[in-house]
Amino acid sequence: MISSNIENELDIFMELRASDSDEKFFDGSEKSKNKGVLSKEKRLSYRKLPIKHIAVCATMSAGKSTFVNALLGNDILPARNEATTARITSIYDLDGSKNMVGYILKNGQIAESACDVKQDELDKWNSDDEVGRIFLQADLDGIPNKGMIVAVHDTPGINNSRDASHYSTTFDFLKSHPLDALIFVANAEQLCTEDEYSMLKTLMNEVVKPKKLSIIFVLNKMDSIDPEKENIAEVIINYKEYLKELGFHEPAVFPVSAHAARLLKMALNNKSAQFTRHEKREFDSVLFDFMTFYNFSSIRKNSKYKTALHQETKENSQKNSERIVKALENTGILAVEKKISVLFGKAKNGVNHCRKRRVRPAIIFSRRKRK
């Protein structure tokens, strides 16, 4: 095993994939093609792509890890209603990858690795105090490898009163790691708290300004707002004003329900067998609400999920897939994925093909009322 440094993270992933004993990942056979993996040629061209680093940060429990799971269309990163993420977890996008390879660093050395990382393993790595960083390679399924590899870095929430190290882990990383953009996840259930205010101030002064970073604001947990009691458009406008007062110029704010997006993507990706009993029940109401009630989307089409519209899969009839795709659009996640692609200038070959349309978070709410 080669040792790790920032230059050779991709080599380590490649070595892990190639070293898998039954060579199921990169042997070029029909079996590996069916698994949607890369030929040797594609692997080499992937290796040459530039990496665009995006850190996902927020206060505790705002939904950072759920949001990254929604980008993955899977339930992999530990996400719970308590301080959960303890280490920086970095995910490098590899289109078509069916499995997640990963490794951990302890004292700067690779201590463990796996060719098919599962939830329990990540849970174990995340709660091991000796682990410094977690590195994963998987498919961020709405972000293509067109001319780049997007690496998303999930960070610990900064205001864990029981563990001050979470603050320094996150800010040390944000200040020292080469970054191309930030995603700030705001919790729509508790906006403009003291902790959020002080985090945004520090971010602005110590990360965004000195590094001249682009920043995307994801206004998460929008499904917690009852539009019959609160004016959702006003919530978003007020939050934008608040960000402007803090010095963020023309902030790009994307209303999202990461929780709904993760469930809907998992259903489209034939992963609903992994749902807990609670999630199975939740899924039906999420589908109904995002078909008829909520619409946080500003875009219409996504090539990956457009294909799902014409496919009958093991778990979904074509009609059902159409409904799930519509609901997924309305969660707002596809607009964020498109924004990420546009930010790095590759959108014309990327996920969406909305010619001459600016990606701007629009807020459209269905007139239909909940029954």
Ligand X SMILES: Nc1nc2c(ncn2[C@@H]2O[C@H](COP(=O)(O)OP(=O)(O)OP(=O)(O)O)[C@@H](O)[C@H]2O)c(=O)[nH]1
Q: Does 61 bind ligand X (CB under 6 A)?
A: yes
In the bound complex, what is the minimum distance in angstroms from residue 154's beta carbon to Mg ion? 6
Q: Are strands 149-154 and 88-93 parallel, antiparallel or unpaired?
A: antiparallel
Concatenating the DSSP letter of every residue in 151-213 gives EEEE---S--TT-THHHHHHHHHHHHS--SEEEEEEETTSTT-HHHHHHHHHHIIIIIHHHT-
Among 5, 81, 107, 276, binds ligand X (CB under 6 A): 81
Binding flags for ligand X, 140-179, as an x/- string (CB under 6 A): ----------------xx----------------------
Among 4, 66, 137, 272, binds ligand X (CB under 6 A): 66
| DSSP code for 150 | E
Question: 137 phi and psi, to 5 degrees?
Answer: -130, 125
Stretch that binds ligand X, among 73-81, 298-306, 317-325, 357-365 (CB under 6 A): 73-81
Q: 65 or 90: whose CB is closer to Mg ion?
A: 65
Q: 10 or 324: whose CB is closer to ligand X?
A: 324
Which residue in this structure is represented by tokens 């920086």? Answer: 88
Among 43, 52, 53, 64, binds ligand X (CB under 6 A): 64
Choosing among Mg ion, ligand X, none, which partner's interface includes residue 80 (Cβ < 5 to 8 Å by kind)? ligand X
Q: 85 or 97: whose CB is closer to Mg ion?
A: 85
In the bound complex, what is the minimum distance in angstroms from residue 133's beta carbon to ligand X? 15
| DSSP code for 250 | S
User: Using an 8 Å Cβ cutoff, are 110 and 98 in contact?
Assistant: no
Question: 216 phi and psi, to 5 degrees?
Answer: -110, 130
| DSSP code for 30 | H
Among 43, 52, 240, 259, binds ligand X (CB under 6 A): 259
Contacts for 68 with CB less than 8 Å, ≥ 6 apart: 56, 77, 89, 91, 152, 154
Stretch that binds ligand X, among 16-24, 82-90, 264-272, 334-342 (CB under 6 A): 82-90
Q: 83 or 354: whose CB is closer to ligand X?
A: 83
In the bound complex, what is the minimum distance in angstroms from residue 80's beta carbon to Mg ion? 8
> If we measure between CA atoms, which residue out of 115, 157, 121, 140 comes closest to residue 12?
115
- Per 3-state DSSP, the chain is made up of helix, strand and coil in percentages (nearest 5) of 40, 15, 45
Distance separating alpha carbons of residues 362 and 37, to the nearest angstrom: 36
What is the footprint of ligand X within residues 342-371 (CB under 6 A)? none
Choosing among ligand X, Mg ion, none, which partner's interface includes residue 99 (Cβ < 5 to 8 Å by kind)? none
User: Using an 8 Å Cβ cutoff, are 232 and 222 in contact?
Assistant: yes
Distance separating alpha carbons of residues 58 and 185, to the nearest angstrom: 5
Among 65, 160, 220, 316, binds Mg ion (CB under 5 A): 65
In the bound complex, what is the minimum distance in angstroms from residue 31's beta carbon to ligand X? 35
Q: 83 or 115: whose CB is closer to ligand X?
A: 83
Stretch that binds ligand X, among 256-264, 275-283, 316-324, 352-360 (CB under 6 A): 256-264
Q: 259 or 326: whose CB is closer to ligand X?
A: 259
What is the footprint of ligand X within residues 201-240 (CB under 6 A)? 220-221, 223-224
In the bound complex, what is the minimum distance in angstroms from residue 65's beta carbon to Mg ion? 3
Length of the chain: 371
Q: 85 or 298: whose CB is closer to ligand X?
A: 85
Q: Does 257 bind ligand X (CB under 6 A)?
A: yes
Contacts for 267 with CB less than 8 Å, ≥ 6 apart: 283, 315, 316, 324
Q: Does 74 bind Mg ion (CB under 5 A)?
A: no
Q: Are strands 101-106 and 214-220 parallel, antiparallel or unpaired?
A: unpaired
In the bound complex, what is the minimum distance in angstroms from residue 85's beta carbon to ligand X? 3
Q: Are strands 101-106 and 133-138 parallel, antiparallel or unpaired?
A: antiparallel
Under the rule (CB under 6 A), what is the footprint of ligand X? Answer: 58, 60-66, 79-81, 83-85, 156-157, 220-221, 223-224, 257-259
Under the rule (CB under 5 A), what is the footprint of Mg ion? Answer: 64-65, 84-85
